[in-house]
Every structure is written in structure tokens, then in C-alpha cells.
Structure 1
Amino acid sequence: MISCKALLPAYGIISSFQVLLRHRSMSTLSYVQRIKLLQALKEDDDKIVKVRESGRVLPFVAKKPLISMPEMGQTAQTLRWISFSDLQRLYPSEDLASRSILLNVADTGQACFTADLPGGAGVAAAAQAALGGKFVDPRAALFLCCPGRRPAQCRTRFRCCTGATRSTSVRAVEPLRSRPAGHAKNCPSCETVQYPMTSPVGITMITDAAQTRALLVRQGRHPPGMYSCVAGFLEPGETIESCIRREVAEEVGIDLDEVGYMGLSTGPSTAVS
């Protein structure tokens, strides 16, 4: 469970996608507004199509992110973002929209994606020359792009990117066979091993600064008189703390302060809760 102290949000809960877009042109968005916009984009395919054209993309080739090369006299390197429209012009015959994954929303309101470019070494070399960067191993990019930052933040960012570009293909349509120990199953044709899926969950008790009052929520499926703490599943690349902060912003429109880890336990329907 996570124990948190809640701060009043700088803005009220905004559920209207149009209001968020209007605010985007005036100033930067608050954390709660970015999460509300991200949630709206995930739930509406038409909105994703509209914002993708004006969004920015972090290209990948073979799970390697593109980083910029340092300028003369500098050593720090950064992730090499490019506009989606510019990237599509470099690959006019490719459907990059189907190869892109929504990562987050910047404080300016711009949608940020990752795109797994097709091809191997030849494509990587051509892309590096055209985009002015270099595709590197994600673990190396942690050290090249994130000097002085907390390692957890950097790992989270790159794990999100590499996880988003990874896909799973069905090699053989046959019933899986359980291993003798029962901990995994094998495909009889290709010998691919399948392990049980884990679904980590974060749950939090939100209190005021004095810890005398708690904020509870109620869902439509709850029976009369039932309330609960805010909870939700971790998304790829999230820490338990970032999951809690996002879920609270989504459900009650509050930006949390002092998110503190209390402990973990196993549940009957999830691996960790």
C-alpha cells in the first residue's frame, strides 16, 4: 500500500478534450491535465489520429532508441525526438501510424510516441544519417542520456520505450502443454515457453496533511454504502509510485505529494498488489 499526502490541484478536474486542447495553446499543462489528456487519447482512436500528425516521435530500430550526438564542446546526449510528419516523409511507403505507440503527453500538451522502424542495419544507417543521431543499446543510452538523474527515472523511461516496441507473435496454433512442475507451458511445435502473466497493482490511502481525513472513491459496480481506496494496474515502465500518482490524477483529479511506499502483498487475482 502507498500512503500519500494530497495537495489541492492547481486546476479543477477537466474531462473535456476540447478544453484541454484550448488550454494547450495558452500555457503548459498541469500534471493532472496531462494525465486526463493521455487518458482521453487512449480511449478514443479518432483523437489519436488527430494529435499524431502534430506529435513527436522517438524512433527505434531493433529495440534501439535514437539519441542525438553531442555538439562541439559538449558531452551530454539526449533522446532524438522528431515530428511524426517529418518521420513519415522519410518513409513514405511505410504505415508508421500502425508501428507507433503512445508514450505520454508533454507539459506543452504535445503527444509523444515511439515508432519501431522496419528493417535492419541498412535502414538504421540511413535513418541515422537522415535524422542526425545514432541508434544505441537502451542500456547504454541510460548512461549516455541521463547523467545526474535518478537511475530509476531513466530506467522507467527506457523500459517504457523498449517494452512498447516489442510485439509477440503466435508461432503455432496448438494447445500448450503444461510443464511437469506446472509453472509454465510449452508449445509442442516450436518449444516456446509461456509463463503466467503477472499484473502488478498499486493501491493508496490518500490523506490530508494532518492525516486525520482520508479520500475514498466509489465505483458504479460497488454495492450501496461501499467505498474504496484508489487503485489501478501498473503500465509498462511505471514504478509503483508513478502508477499511484497517475491513477489518483485519473480518478479524482488530484496531484499527490510525498508518495511513500508502505509494503506489498500477494492477491488472489494479481501477482502483486
Structure 2
Amino acid sequence: MPWPLARMARYVQQCKYLQQLKDNDDICSKAFERGSYLLFSKEKPLLTRKDQETPFQSVISWRTFHEVEPFNPNVKQSSVVLGVSDEADIAPLFVCSVPPETEKKIESAFNSTFVDMRRALFSLSDDENQHVSRGYSMISWDENIKFCSYCGSSLDRKISGCSKVCSQKCNPLKMTHYPQIHPVAITRVLNHSLDKILLVRQPRHPKGMYSCIAGFMEPGETLNDNIRREIAEEVGIVVEKIEYFQSQAWPLPQPSLMMACTAVAMPGSEEIDIDKEELEDAKWFSKAETQEALTRVIKNPKILRENEKGELVIPPHGAIAHELVKNWLNQYTPTKL
């Protein structure tokens, strides 16, 4: 549905203010004390349980500047702009690291918990999942990238933490460094009749879990080129009729943009020939089998850690592979077939 005019105006205002926070040191420096903070201890974000009745669902434990400062006195020098709130006053959002030795005190003070990243991403809403993904990616880049990749000189940090400028040799060239992301295509492969889905299993997957084929894009590749190549390499299938579905930021093992698509196997190219260096297994699954796998993980997200029987499961809510499979089961209709 179209947005109301007031909502559209506020969205434009949000985007403009966020850009000012990133680029204008004066505006950013004045925003710290009225901001809300997402805290990380190493790779663990600070979350709190949504409510007692939904133990598998969490929310970000946003903290104020004055709550964070006792645990990180350098909060203004080390925080990174994360975004802006959707409230009427459009407050700034920041991400900040705290020393691991302060974990217990912070958890006790705010009745919250520092949670493993994967558990966090699978327990948050889509919007908060995006905050945590961006927050971890930005704070990691800010803490780890200290030197110019062109000349080796130290980098000067913008107050926002969203970019850095070479301090010496590259200065005449105005070499500005930004966080990098890695594009990944993740694809639900369907048979030509559209009644089966190809799911694959990697050795690192939890017991019983199958997912969609995914692979990093190479320089010079289009999205379609990448999808065709990865599927041919990993399962020996040639696909056609590629359609874009949606995208998701994903921070592990490195900041990535997951671009989810659908591809249909060409007639005569549905026999699987797996790359045993990449995959442990790959199978065609019917809608009935896939629905059972989806139901298992929805009813019991802990099954991914406690699947002693090795029952078929798919990735949980929070992973874009989950949405690809669920959409195929519930409402997928091709637009280009």
C-alpha cells in the first residue's frame, strides 16, 4: 500500500538526517548524548527477552548514552552511527563495544544478556536483525581497519565511524575508505514442474539441516552469471528463468549482501552431480517433505541444536533461506515462465 504523505515526508527526513550524521562531524558530535546504543561484547549483542511467553524471541536492549558511559568512557570516540529511529523526533542510533570483563555487570544492571550472534539473528524481528547485522559489521570494520590499503599510512576516523581518510601519502588524492560488503547469491532451485525444491547440505550445517545453494560473486559477474555458475559447479544442474526475490544483510563470516533468487532447472538437467569438496549432500524435496521440515523448525527452533534423530529441517526464521522455502510453499507463482 502507498505510504501516507506524512510517512513519506518523515522517511525523507530520516534519510537526510542519517547522511548528515555520517558526513558532518559537528552534527554527529552533538548527537551522542541523545542517542540510543546497541552494545556488543566482542561478537555478542546485548538483547533482552521479548516476553515470558515467547522464550525464543528477543529484542535489542537499547541503552542511553549515560547508561553506556560508565562501561566505556570513550563512547564518543568509539561509537559508530547505526541509523536513526522511526520515532517522531528521529533520534540517532549508535553501536558501541564494551570490554568483555564488563559483561556480567552490564547484564545485571539492565536485566539483559549478551547473546551469540547466530542465536541473536535467529531470534530477532527483521528490523532488529538488520540493526544487529549492520552494527556488528560496522563496529568490526572500525576496530580492525586502521591503515590505508594504498600506502600503509594510518587512517583518520570520521567522528561517525562510517568512513576513514588516509592521514598522509594519499591525502592529495582524498583517499576515503568505506566498509566493504561481499555480494552473495542464494537460490532456491526448482524442478521444471515447480513441485520440488533442491536443497543442499554442507558439512558445517547442524545435523539434519538442508538449505539453498549460495555462493560469493566474482569480479565481473552478473547476478545471473553467478547463479548459473554456482549451481552448475555444486550440483551439476543447468538453470534458466532466474527471478529476483529479496535481499538480506548478513554479517557472518564477513559482511555480506545475500541476494535471494529463484531458478528453474532446464528440462533434462535435473540429475544431481554434487561437488563433494563443497557439499555433503543435495536432494530434491517434495512440498510435503519440505513443509514438515519447516513446521519442525517453527515449532521448536532449538531443534537445530538438539536434532539427535537427524530429522530434516531448514534454516530458522532470520535466515533468508527460510523465507525462500516458506514463500515457495505458501504462495510462489512464477512471473516469467
TM-score (norm 1): 0.48
Q: Which has the higher contact order (CA 8 A, sep 6+)?
A: 1
